């Protein structure tokens, strides 16, 4: 049986690399792609390697980054360009295999097992991909070559930039075991701290720990972490065009100013609920549960949810349910910094429902048709072409555009 040949390709300093391609004057300079400080997103999203050498890191506040690097060039993000370049990179990947699974805009797994007869082994294909991306797009990729997804990702992270690292059975322990345990996918800060408390600091330590003991500490995830550490992960790479079943749809925003009153919260809930409901209608889905998430100015947060009597994709019904949840859950001990709305437990829009004598289904359907008409106008003329009057009651909060694209990585386990 042929061993799998899995690649993990990671575009180096992706946002910064795209900016340098589009603006040659940035090439070789210390640049950082940063969010908008006025909208309170003033952090480093990506820094170029010259900036990283000066200590600039992703997630660092702009003022901190400038303390490390006085001549840092701060560049605003251009997500449409990043999406465009991501598509170009994907086209190169798809020349070699139809099993391409994105992990965010700048990373993908490729299963090239079935392509080895045409293009050579995994290392040969990795070298071709690296050369093509550099020649055709002017950016670089780091690639891990392995027989499973987790080891391949370790390989792409092992050397940067513009490197190819093979991690397979013959050299796995030599390369992987000395690495810190947090280098494994899904070992975040909380899991790392817990493992450290038990004396597990490297991937080798984790691999040598009895999986049954890990299961006592972490539940089912303990067995998964053990498999990851031992290099025996068998998770398949999803095929091109595969999509996981959508289980929930949400949107959140860090607000341009602190939320100080119920009126502020209601305005934000209306804006966010419109975007959530619109996405549901696009997918022909309705939610049966509404969830809110809030974070105060000291970054303390909580989530609350409630079940609806009837599935809905009517934006104001979602907003009203979210506002009732908020009123029942928060007493304004502190101003709020961010807020989110999510519709979950989704069902098909044409699913049969049990009607209540007290509900007005005809009225709900009329409002949903009105929402769909708004969707059509906004799709054609833009989000701001038709807005509720409430958004004009507050200049700062009303300018929040919930349709601005924020990229989130696809869940690792979504493909099985």
Name the residue among 99, 97, 84, 95 with its Cα closest to residue 137. 84
Catalytic residue among 19, 38, 101, 107: 107
Residue recorded with tokens 């899995």: 6
As to burial, measured by CB atoms within 10 angstroms (0-12 exposed, 13-18 middle, 19+ buried), residue 389 is exposed
Strand partners, 287: 312
Residue recorded with tokens 């105060």: 296
How many helices and strands, by DSSP H and E, does the chain display?
16, 13
Q: 106: annotated binding-site residue?
A: yes
Query: What is the C-alpha R_g of the chain?
Result: 24
Q: Residue 268: count other Cβ atoms within 10 Å of its Cβ.
A: 28
CA–CA dist 85, 94 (Å, integer):
14
- Tokens at residue 231, please? 């290099």
Chain Cα centroid distance, residue 75: 21
- Catalytic annotation on 101? no
Q: Residue 53: count other Cβ atoms within 10 Å of its Cβ.
A: 11
Name the residue among 297, 254, 250 with its Cα closest to residue 43. 254
- Tokens at residue 149, please? 């997804």
3-state helix, strand, coil in the chain (%, to 5): 45, 20, 35
Q: How many Cα atoms within 13 Å fall on the side-chain side of residue 98?
A: 4
Asked if 342 and 291 touch (Cβ cutoff 8 Å), the reply is yes
As annotated, the binding site for Mg(2+) includes 10, 106
Where in the sequence numbering do the catalytic residues fall?
Answer: 107
């Amino acid at each position: 049986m042929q061993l799998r040949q899995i690649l993990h390709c990671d575009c180096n300093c992706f946002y910064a690399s795209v900016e340098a391609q589009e603006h040659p004057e940035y090439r070789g300079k210390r640049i950082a792609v940063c969010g908008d400080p006025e909208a309170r997103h003033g952090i480093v999203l990506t820094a170029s390697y010259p900036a990283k050498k000066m200590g600039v890191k992703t997630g660092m506040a702009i003022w901190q980054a400038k303390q490390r690097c006085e001549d840092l060039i701060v560049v605003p993000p251009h997500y449409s360009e990043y999406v465009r370049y991501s598509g170009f990179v994907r086209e190169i990947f798809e020349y070699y295999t139809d099993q391409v699974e994105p992990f965010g805009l700048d990373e993908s797994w490729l299963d090239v097992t079935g392509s080895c007869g045409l293009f050579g082994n995994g290392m040969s294909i990795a070298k071709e991909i690296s050369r093509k991306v550099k020649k055709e797009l002017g950016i670089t990729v780091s690639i891990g070559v392995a027989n499973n997804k987790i080891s391949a990702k370790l390989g792409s992270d092992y050397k940067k930039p513009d490197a190819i690292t093979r991690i397979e059975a013959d050299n796995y322990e030599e390369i992987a075991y000395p690495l810190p345990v947090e280098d494994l996918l899904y070992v975040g800060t909380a899991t790392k701290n817990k493992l450290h408390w038990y004396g597990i600091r490297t991937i080798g330590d984790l691999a040598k720990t009895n999986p049954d003991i890990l299961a006592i500490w972490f539940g089912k995830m303990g067995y998964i972490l053990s498999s990851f550490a031992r290099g025996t992960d068998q998770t398949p790479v999803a095929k091109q065009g595969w999509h996981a079943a959508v289980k929930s749809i949400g949107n959140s925003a860090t607000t341009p100013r602190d939320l100080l009153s119920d009126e502020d919260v209601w305005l934000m809930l209306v804006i966010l609920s419109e975007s959530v409901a619109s996405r549901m209608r696009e997918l022909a889905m309705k939610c049966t549960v509404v969830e809110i998430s809030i974070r105060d100015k000291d970054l303390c947060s909580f989530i609350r949810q409630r079940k609806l009597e009837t599935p809905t994709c009517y934006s104001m019904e979602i907003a009203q349910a979210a506002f009732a949840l908020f009123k029942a859950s928060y007493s304004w001990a502190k101003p709020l910094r961010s807020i989110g709305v999510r519709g979950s437990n989704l069902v098909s829009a044409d699913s049969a429902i049990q009607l209540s004598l007290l509900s007005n289904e005809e009225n709900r359907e009329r409002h949903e048709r009105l929402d769909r008409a708004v969707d059509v106008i906004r799709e054609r003329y833009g989000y701001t072409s038709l807005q509720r009057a409430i958004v004009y009651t507050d200049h700062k909060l009303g300018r929040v555009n919930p349709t601005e694209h924020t990229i989130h990585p696809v869940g690792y386990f979504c493909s099985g």
